[in-house]
Amino acid sequence: MSDKYQVISILKKDAILQLLKKNERIDGRGLEDFREIEIFTNIYNKAEGSARVHLGDTKVVAGVKASIGIPFPDTPNVGVQVVNAELIPLASPLFEAGPPGEEDIELSRVVDRGIRSSEMIDNKKLALIPGKKVWMIFIDIYPLDYHGNLMDAFGLAAVSALLTGNLYETEINEDDIILKENKIPIPINHVPIFVTIGKIQNKLIVDPTFEEEMVLDAKITYTIDENNNICGIQKSGTAGFTIDELIMARDIAIEVAAKIRKYLPLKKG
């Protein structure tokens, strides 16, 4: 994606910048409006949880798989959480097949940290035999159609798949885990929402489209829990923010998160 800068025409770039001066956006949205959100959950039956999220034209999927594994030695009493995201070429001519690059890795690590810091999953309930056997929760996220702001779409898909996901009930028989017929919801404590705000010249815009991303100077992602605490921050892009901009962006993010939260699927159980 190193040649993203060549992707949109100078005319379009100018149009975006001219409109922004008047606090307008090329798709008619206000600066702090996000695109239409649609969330479909439990759609792939081999997954313990799944979600397809549409954020405007951006479409992504997330799937949750669970398996029984061994805990890390330094956290013997909590489950294991793995987040993986891959920018597959299906979703954009800018993405290439191959092992995850730095963009894929950043996206998955920001989602991972947001879920972890918010303590979304009640990790202690995932320990089956402390020190020996725990649930490992794998969250895999893929774009299907990339039209900007994968960060927030990925976060929303991961969170939606977890919220509506199920695990087999277990029974412990000495050192063996027996999976029972019944399924119970993945234990959930909190729900983080990811809000990315772009900076173009001195304007802050919510939920940038692909074309806006092409002219952005920098981006800031705030992860917000249901108590309006910040449980994750990630700045990216080749410019900086003033502290005032960052505080303003934080306030916008808190407001936007509250609105997005209404789209969430109902928590199971």
Partner 1 sequence: MKKVSNITEVIKLLDENGIRSDGRRLDEMRKIKIEVGVLKNADGSAYIEMGNNKIIVGVYGPKEVRPKHLAIPYKSLIRCRYEMMPFSVSDRKSPSPSRREIELSKAIREALEPAIFTEEFPRTMIEIFIEVLEADGGTRTASINAASVALADAGIPLRDLVTAIAIGKIDGKLALDINGIEDQYGDGDMPIAMMPQLGYVTLFQADGIFTSEEIEKAFEMAKKAIWNIYEIQKKALKSKYLQIVKEVDINE
- The footprint of partner 1 on residues 239-258 (CB under 8 A) is 239-243, 246-247, 250-251, 254
With CB under 8 A as the contact rule, the residue among 10, 11, 22, 93 that binds partner 1 is 93
CB contact at 8 A, 266 and 51: no
Q: Is 84 in the site for partner 1 (CB under 8 A)?
A: yes
Nearer of residues 19 and 248 to partner 1, judged by Cβ: 248
Task: From 13-21, 28-36, 220-228, 259-267, give the range in contact with partner 1 by CB under 8 A.
Answer: 220-228
Nearer of residues 19 and 236 to partner 1, judged by Cβ: 236
185-214 binders of partner 1 (CB under 8 A): none
With CB under 8 A as the contact rule, the residue among 203, 235, 261, 268 that binds partner 1 is 235
CA distances (Å), origin 148, targets 3, 55, 96, 172: 16, 9, 17, 46
3-class SS string, 208-229: CCHHHHHHCCEEEEEEECCCCC
Nearer of residues 16 and 209 to partner 1, judged by Cβ: 209
CA angle, residues 61, 83, 224, in degrees to nearest 5: 80
Nearer of residues 11 and 97 to partner 1, judged by Cβ: 97
Three-state DSSP state, 110: helix
Q: How far apart are CA 207 and CA 197, in angstroms?
A: 6
CB contact at 8 A, 130 and 88: no
What is the DSSP secondary structure assignment for residue 238, as one 8-state letter? Answer: S
41-70 binders of partner 1 (CB under 8 A): 43-48, 50, 57, 59, 61, 63-68
Three-state DSSP state, 124: helix
Task: From 28-36, 152-160, 228-236, 261-269, give the range in contact with partner 1 by CB under 8 A.
Answer: 228-236
With CB under 8 A as the contact rule, the residue among 80, 127, 147, 207 that binds partner 1 is 147
